[in-house]
Amino acid sequence: MTRALIIVDVQNDFTEGGALATDGGAAVAAAITRHLNEDGDRYDLVVATRDWHDADGDNGGHFAAEGTEPNFVDTWPVHCVAGTPGAEYHESLETRHIDIHVVKGMGEPAYSGFEGATSDGETLQAVLADVGVDEVDVVGIATDYCVKATALDACRAGLQVTVIHDLTSAVADATRDAALTALQTHGITVTTLAELAAA
């Protein structure tokens, strides 16, 4: 098996103090780094995705219109605008581990890393195929949105998918639980670091 780690959107705006913070986001960034420091040889490739929204416009309705409140389902506060500090990786995520960087959401809503591309225009699916990846672990932010969407697309691409859920943080507990159930329904393994180590 050729295995990759997909780190989803571990960005300042999705961690404490950011425009769209998740509870525990900073801790997730640090925990992912520890995982890679301790067990990085588990992976043949490490990919990280980032939201990289346009500064102008509402990015296809992804940002709530000026003067309206976001509904936190389809519309969101302005976040992860390309080139701003909020769009950068959280400082606790050590980027030296990352082999490939993928950005998504340029002018349009995009939750899955499979909707993004590298700076050379290569899709995430193509990047994984180039290396012969057939198994992926997915971690990052947010469990209930971009992690879920990325894991589901990886499954649709024919990959064996594991979500390490204690290396994720969510927008809300209820939607996190629903997301994990949905992932398992689609045949995706949901596990913890301790369970992974014991396997």
- Catalytically active residues, by annotation: 9, 104, 146
Alpha helix (H) residue ranges in the chain: 25-39, 124-131, 148-156, 173-185, 193-198
* Cis before 194 (ω within 30): no
**Three-class SS state of 36:** helix
Looking up tokens 């992860």, which residue turns up? 80
Using CA atoms, how far apart are residues 175 and 127, in angstroms rounded to an integer?
Answer: 30
Q: Which tokens in the block code for residue 126?
A: 């193509």
